[in-house]
Amino acid sequence: MTATPLQNQGAQTLGGGGSTPDAAAPGIDADQEIIAKVLAGHKDSFAVLITRYSDPLYRHALGMTGSPDVAEDILQASFIKAYQHLGEVRGRFDAWVFRIVANSCKDWLKNIRRTHVSYDEDDQPSTYSTPEEEMDRNELRTDLQFALARLAPSLREAFVMKHVEGRSYEEMALLLETTVGALKMRVHRAREALQQLLEEKYA
């Protein structure tokens, strides 16, 4: 059984949290089996794929849009689209569904042209040790998102995948169907742009 980039990421970052035992060590073969079940009429089996991939896909949508509400909507629409076109999956399901989400995020960014973003729309618990530290980091978070919103979608995507999702360049190349060299260049460009935008205040 071969592990997939999205699952590896989920396992690294979640430590199995929020996943079912079935999702603990899944792989491409397991995905194909589930797809076959769903296509044979077992609709409930699709829940396994959702459980397996929703966290990394949600993080990608959140990183790209900056809005928990929008990220949820994109995740939902993407899984519905994936379900409706499940019979057309060729190759890896994880890479295929990732591209649906990634394209949806880029479409959203193009259509909305939103520059103000905030992660504060939901009620994730605070993990800061002191109120001062929380204020300090909230300010950086806001400034970082504001700076990210100024990047071109391809640069933002590369930065989010590398820094927020913690992927290797090889994983990114597989998911985005491009070369490691091109992705390194995008990440470097994104870092330089962000640094230029932030260093006046923070460096």
Partner 1 sequence: MMLDDAGFERNDKITGNEPAQRKDKSAERLYDREVPLNGTSGHTLLHDWLDGEVDVMRASEVEGKSKVELWTRINAESEMLRRRVTPVGVQQRIMASLPETPTATSWWKQVTPVSAIAITVALLAVGALIIQALR
CA gap 45, 139 in Å, rounded: 43
Give the HSE-up count for residue 136: Cα atoms under 13 Å, Cβ half-sphere.
Answer: 8
Please, what is the minimum distance in Å from the beta carbon of residue 77 to partner 1?
Answer: 9
Distance CA 198, CA 203 (A): 8
- Give just the sign of the alpha carbon dihedral 85, 88, 94, 99: negative
Minimum CB distance to partner 1 smaller for 4 or for 145: 145
Identity of the residue, 2 or 134, whose beta carbon is nearer to partner 1 in the bound complex: 134
Nearer to partner 1, 2 or 180 (CB): 180
Instruction: Closer to partner 1 by CB, 13 or 103: give it.
Output: 13
Q: How far is the CB of 147 from partner 1 (least distance, A)?
A: 9
Least CB distance from residue 52 to partner 1, whole Å? 10
127 contacts: CB under 8 Å, gap ≥ 6? none
CB of 34 to partner 1, least distance (A): 12
Token pair 């890479």 in the structure block, residue: 95
Q: Quickly count: other Cβ atoms within 10 Å of residue 58's Cβ.
A: 16
